Amino acid sequence: MSKARSALDDAFQPPPKDDAVLFQLPVTKRWLEQVVLSALLRCHGSYRGVQGFLQDVFDMEVSIGTIHDIVMAAVEKARRVHAQEDLSPIHVGAHDEIFQGDPILVGVDPVSTYCYLLAQEPSRDGTTWAVHWLDLAGRGLTLDYTVADAGKGLRAGQAEAWPEVPCRGDVFHAQREMTKMATYLENRAYGCIGTREEVERRMERDKAKGKGQSFSKKLAIARKEETAAVELADDLHILAQWMREDVLSLTGPDVQGRRELFDFIVAEMRAREALAPHRIRPVRVALENQRGDLLAFAQDIDWQLAQVAPRHKVALEDVREVFEMGHFAAVDPQRWQADSELWKRLGALYPEIRKAVAQVAENTVRASSMVENLNSRLRCYFFLRHQVGPAYLELLRFFLNHRRYPRSRKDPRTGRSPAEILHGEAFPHWLAQLGYTCFRRAA
């Protein structure tokens, strides 16, 4: 009753006046350094913006040079933290090259989202990549496999430094190229439709003047081009959909079935290649060259499911059927019909098998899209690149690895930083790791 009364009193007491003192801040030089770093990294403020903020709020004149010195001191502290990082818990790497002026070489753990490589280099050849791989190996990085696009330098460097580590194909880039191709052909088909409609309008207009026959041949040609363009766009749209939803999807046929469908799609693309060679041929050739790398994940899924079946003493077909339940949307009635049938067939084993195949799905990495996500976040810090130079990547890597996620599509990540997810333990606040004492209000 006492607690309830206290809660009611707090809820209904009048709010404090606007000029009431809520709490006191001990403003010191060290505290102001934290403000500068937080304004730069949290709020994406520029040097000039932070300078104006301190002038507006604290009536303080701080030079651009002072702000730069604070940032460079933080860069050195971040380097010291990175020199002690343990990369041994990482087993899968997603690699790519992103471009902000000179190429930036990136390596990310797709499970924890921890970034272990973020370096700007004048070249992205095999030797440059190999040097970084060997340096990472010295810090405990031992990978079961990597996922990357078809970049020649990246793959050559990995083959030189880690010849025993397989490099799987990145399905994200393959799907994106097929989607771009299908979208181009669809837009071309709409253009042909528009052309045909325009010829028809002009023909109707000239019919009133008795000159409609002059457009007969043009209309016949426009209709023929429209029919061909629409058929081609429809065919390639279906092929791209099959590639995305059946061949390169997480759930789908076994690896042999995927190979057969993959070859069928490529053959159908080749048969239509002459209709748009500049768009279809590059995508078709890339798919043919990457077939084994792109389907490596499916072979790994087959192997993992084959381990689940004897462990639970059920047929492999039943395990695969449980796994393919993930192909249905949550609102699809077929999902719940299949779920009911599996309950009847597998009984008490069904929840355990479902948990096991969910772990298989969680363990399977098909794309390096986490690198693309990182690239989108780096773009917010272009001003640091101009003012700090390549060293800004060292500070950003530290900040992004130790900043806690306020929310995430995956619940276990919410409220935790990539470093905490990777190591399974709590770390101090990122400012505390840079040597600052974080301000805490009195209770």
Q: What is the pLDDT of residues 49-77, one digit of tens each?
A: 999 999 999 888 999 999 999 999 999 99
Q: Residue 350: its pLDDT value, please?
A: 87
Q: What mean pLDDT is predicted for residues 344-360?
A: 89
Overall average pLDDT of the 195-209 stretch: 83
Read off the pLDDT band of 295 (50, 70, 90). Answer: very high
Q: What is the mean pLDDT of the chain?
A: 89
Tokens encoding 76: 């050195």
Q: Which of 246-260, 320-334, 374-388, 429-443 has the highest mean pLDDT?
A: 246-260
100: pLDDT strictly greater than 80: no
Dihedral of CA atoms 402, 407, 409, 414 in degrees, nearest 10, equals: 60
Structure confidence at residue 258 (pLDDT): 93
Name the least confident of 50-64, 329-343, 373-387: 373-387
**What's the pLDDT score for residue 443?**
66
| pLDDT-derived band at 381, boundaries 50, 70, 90 | confident
What is residue 439's predicted lDDT score, i.e. its pLDDT?
Answer: 86
Condensed to tens digits (0 to 9), the pLDDT of residues 101-112 reads 788 899 999 989
Task: Reply yes or no on whether the pLDDT at 212 is more than 70.
Answer: no
**Per-residue pLDDT at 440 exceeds 80:** yes
Average of per-residue pLDDT across 396-408: 92
pLDDT at 12 over 90: no
Across 31-35, average pLDDT: 92
Average pLDDT over residues 321-327: 85
Task: Note if the pTM is more than 0.85.
Answer: no
| Least confident stretch, 105-109, 132-136, 380-384, 424-428 | 380-384
Q: What is the mean pLDDT of residues 178-195?
A: 94
Q: Which residue has the higher pLDDT, 215 or 289?
A: 289
pLDDT above 80 (res 214): no
- Read off the pLDDT of residues 248-267 as tens digits, 9 standing for 90 and up: 999 888 999 999 999 999 99
Who has greater pLDDT, 385 or 41?
41
